[in-house]
């Protein structure tokens, strides 16, 4: 089946640094989604992308839908301690929650 | 406030015991889902339901059962047949398809239930 490769698995950064993470697939997707999960909580949607090449921002977060439709990137600028958590990418070829494929997540640690 | 409520937050299962995890939503969403999360892995779909009185197996349904008697509720039972039940379980819902708002691909999650084996 379809799989998403998310990297890096974990990141240890200093407060104020910028962060980049990405997700790749051997298959194309029509929708890319980025979620953040705080420790002990459920994931929360950060950004949704619907078109190849699309670049969307949400505050200090910026995500891009890759031109090939097989990858997506998430950048966080000027990180702060509350950015700590697990960031998941998710892709959909067809619309529908049950068709969502999740990456394994990038665990972000921010040192104040 | 509208949202998804999962209970309990922590649950312990004895060998041979069935346990039920509760999930309630007041978002008026038609579709509901159960995911399993293991450390270092992505979310894996256990069961989903797109409408009341109907549900479908996901990728890892063995050892689990669900019911959908009400739109608001989608309980998950972890049966004794599930030999490795220790995990973080997440319930989610999504708006109806065809709403025209491009929201039906977005999942709204509860805060999870951590299930452990005694």
Residue A67 Cα, gap to closest chain B Cα (Å): 21
Bridge partner list, A111: A14
Rounded distance between C-alpha atoms, residue A33 and residue A58, angstroms: 13
Mutate which: B8, B32, B42, B45, vs A, most A CBs within 10 A: B42
pLDDT of residue B96: 72
Rounded distance between C-alpha atoms, residue A23 and residue A59, angstroms: 21
Helices (H) and strands (E) in chain A, counts: 0, 11
Residue B103 has pLDDT above 70, yes or no: no
Tell whether A95 lies on the interface with B, counting CB pairs under 8 A: yes
Note which residues in 8-27 of chain B have CB less than 8 A from chain A: none
Q: How confident is the model at residue A3 (pLDDT cuts 50, 70, 90)?
A: confident
pLDDT of residue B101: 47
pLDDT of residue B19: 96
Residue B31 has pLDDT above 60, yes or no: yes
Residue B102 Cα, gap to closest chain A Cα (Å): 9
3-state DSSP call for residue B69? coil
Rounded distance between C-alpha atoms, residue A8 and residue A22, angstroms: 8
Among the partner-chain residues B41, B56, B105, the one whose CB lies closest to the CB of A104 is: B41
């Amino acid at each position: 089946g379809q799989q998403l490769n998310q990297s890096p698995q974990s990141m240890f950064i200093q407060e104020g640094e910028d962060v980049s993470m990405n997700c790749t697939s051997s298959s194309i997707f029509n929708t890319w989604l980025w979620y953040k999960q705080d420790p002990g909580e459920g994931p929360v949607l950060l950004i949704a992308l619907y078109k190849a090449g699309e670049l969307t921002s949400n505050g200090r977060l910026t995500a891009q839908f890759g031109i090939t439709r097989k990858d997506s990137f998430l950048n966080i600028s000027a990180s702060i301690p509350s950015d700590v958590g697990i960031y998941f990418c998710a892709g959909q070829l067809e619309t529908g929650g049950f068709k969502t494929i999740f990456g394994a997540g990038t665990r972000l640690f921010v040192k104040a | 406030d509208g949202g998804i409520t999962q209970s309990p937050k922590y649950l312990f299962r004895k060998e041979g015991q069935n346990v039920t995890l509760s999930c309630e939503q007041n978002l008026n969403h038609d579709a509901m889902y159960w995911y399993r999360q293991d450390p270092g892995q992505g979310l894996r779909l256990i069961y989903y339901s797109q409408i009341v009185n109907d549900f479908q197996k996901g990728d890892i349904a063995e050892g689990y059962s669900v019911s959908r008697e009400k739109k608001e509720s989608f309980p998950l039972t972890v049966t004794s047949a599930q030999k490795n039940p220790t995990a973080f379980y997440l319930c989610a819902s999504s708006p109806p398809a065809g709403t025209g708002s491009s929201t039906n691909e977005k999942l709204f999650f509860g805060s999870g239930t951590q299930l452990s084996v005694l």
